[in-house]
Amino acid sequence: MGTFKQSVAISDGNGGEERTVLAEVDTGATYTMLPDAVLRVSLGIRPTREEVFTFANGSKARLPVGDALLRAEGKEAFSPVVFGVDASECLLGATSLQALGLIADTSNHRLIPAPSLRL
């Protein structure tokens, strides 16, 4: 596992406003987490469900989840996003990377196209 920063554009996918954040690419995180203020207030994205998440320290929390259009490295895809409490925490997780067809090159601290996608 490894982490590095990546610029990611987020929108509701319906022609609304777009915001770009600097997210921590975390190959150990399943979902993408973005600040509630960015998703709900700035972009008008609403949660569609709640899920229980386990954090790296072992603690658990039930958090809202919605869907957002993400764009990185010239690719875009809808992905589930967790509405985070911390206004500064932006994580780009494995589910979003898979949806975008990207993999983390942790040696060179960048995202690259997946060499082949599995069915």
Instruction: Check: CB of residue 50 under 8 Å from CB of residue 61.
Output: no
pLDDT in tens, 74-107: 999 999 999 998 888 899 999 999 999 999 998 9
Alpha helices in the chain (DSSP H): 36, 94-100
pLDDT score at 115: 87
pLDDT score at 98: 94
- Checking if the pLDDT of 117 tops 80, the result is no
Question: pTM of the predicted model, to two decimals?
Answer: 0.91
pLDDT in tens, 5-21: 999 999 999 998 999 99
Cα(85)–Cα(63) distance, integer angstroms: 9
**Mean pLDDT on 29-37:** 94
